[in-house]
Amino acid sequence: MSKRPRSQLEQDIPGGVRREARPQPPQLSRSADRMAVCDQSLPPQGHGSPVVVNEVPEAAENYRKLFQEMLGTLKEKLQAAKIIQTDEQERMVIMQKDEQNFKEMIESEYSIRIRLMTEQIRMNLRILQGRFNLDLRQTSQKQLMEFSTKLKEKFQETLQRLNLLGRENMKKLKESEVRLSEHICSLQQITVELEEKCRQPASVLLQNAEYALERSESLLHQFLQSAQITDLSVCQITGMSKMLNVLQRPITLDPKTAHPYLVLSEDLRSVRLRNVQRGVPGHPERFDFSATVLGVQRFTSGRHYWEVDVGRAAQWQLGVYRSSTVRNSSGNKVLLTGSLMGTDHTFWALPPFRRISFRERVHRVGVFLDYEYQQISFYDAAKGSLIYNFSYLAFQGALRPMFSLSISSGGVNSDSLTICLPHVSPCNDTVGPQSSSRCEI
């Protein structure tokens, strides 16, 4: 019997990744209120009135209680400061990795575009071979050189923006880490002083007692905040959609692989999640662990591109799948996960599992597969901007398009995905890169 599909975030996103906002530690009461408490233990003194020695222990005891209360709050603030400091240090490491990964994606995207343009020009020359002349060859070569020069300039500008942004972010994080270190040092120092005062006799404890409390409150009133850095996704790589449109092919869903909680449209282009399990015949290729369905097409060579409307799904996964004896292994799939929680939209990539610096919500995702060059790229198809790409994947065997939805246990969900129709006919004989591909159905 098929299992109820687990949430994709439960399956692919390890616990503890999401960072919750930490509340600031509670503050002590106002100084005026505090002094009222202390003044009650001291007798009123007129001009020249002697200090009543018997009242000193009571005043000291009140201050001792205030010190102990303050110590608890200071230790909470100290712990919060250490956590934020650790987070800032981790963010520096993550940012460096993200920047390096972004640079690699830019270089990979540059290579893809040059390769596509070169092969398209060569194919057009072969098509026009009967009317071929020297002028046509020279024109094509000039066109390719101009395209390559402009593209290189564009990508160099993107790299420069990325480097500048990376330096600015690192500077902010280091400055934040220094401020936190100084604040932690001050908190530790005043904590030691108050602990020592709590152990002092009454007459010594009352010396500079109010000053010690004022210093403590001053530290507690300093607001702890992480550095505000700019997301690397502002360095978006755009302008790819037109080049990929000529590679777009129609993809259809395979009913034999659909999980029982999924309903396919009659034209096999849309998949919808339902909360009631369908009665379906058993099949060795059917998914019974996650709410997944595969495409009919099997790719063993060439370049392929398809687009999916994800605007009606709060959580989804797209990518490619390689048949394996272990159906739920992460090694047999390459995925992009999108998750919408309120107004916060997050992307995750697998493998390796990582969060992606791309904040905008995407309504249509483009998937590009280059089998020979072992690459898969995901795009915001509406804007033509790169979301993420994978290189050096070492493909083996046939790859199939993969589509997944997610449902929470006991929840009501009507999420759906729809495969978009090609912008151009896949049989267009001017499409060079696609004509050499191999697709099995």
- Residue for token pair 């200090």: 51
pLDDT tens-digit profile of 334-393?
A: 999 998 877 778 899 988 888 887 777 899 999 999 999 999 999 999 888 899 999 888
Contact 292, 259 (CB under 8 A): yes
Tell me: pLDDT of 240 over 80: no
pTM of the model: 0.73
pLDDT tens-digit profile of 105-159?
A: 999 999 898 888 888 777 777 766 655 566 777 777 788 888 888 888 989 999 9
pLDDT tens-digit profile of 292-304?
A: 999 999 999 999 9
d(C-alpha 46, C-alpha 35), whole Å: 19
User: Which CA distances in Å does 220 have to 24, 37, 217?
Assistant: 9, 21, 5
Contact 280, 306 (CB under 8 A): no
pLDDT at 80: 95
> What integer is the mean pLDDT of 231-243?
80
pLDDT at 6: 46
In the chain the domains, ranked by start, together with CATH numbers, are 25-45+52-223 (1.10.287), 241-440 (2.60.120.920)
Tell me: pLDDT of 251 over 90: yes
pLDDT at 19: 37
**What average pLDDT does the structure give for the chain?**
81
Share of the chain above pLDDT 70, in %: 78
Q: In the structure, what pLDDT confidence band is assigned to residue 330 with cuts at 50, 70 and 90? A: low
pLDDT at 360: 77
Tell me: pLDDT of 211 over 60: yes
> What integer is the mean pLDDT of 238-260?
87
pLDDT tens-digit profile of 154-203?
A: 899 999 999 999 999 999 999 999 999 999 999 999 999 999 999 999 99
pLDDT at 358: 74
**Closest among 360, 342, 338 to 350, alpha carbons compared:** 338
Report the interhelical angle of 209-220 vs 31-39 (nearest 10°): 160
Contact 177, 86 (CB under 8 A): no
pLDDT tens-digit profile of 402-429?
A: 999 986 665 556 789 999 999 754 433 3
pLDDT at 130: 56
pLDDT at 272: 93
pLDDT at 436: 39
pLDDT at 118: 84
Range with the poorest average pLDDT among 51-55, 139-143, 178-182, 269-273? 51-55
Phi, psi dihedrals of residue 230, rounded to the nearest 5°: -90, 135
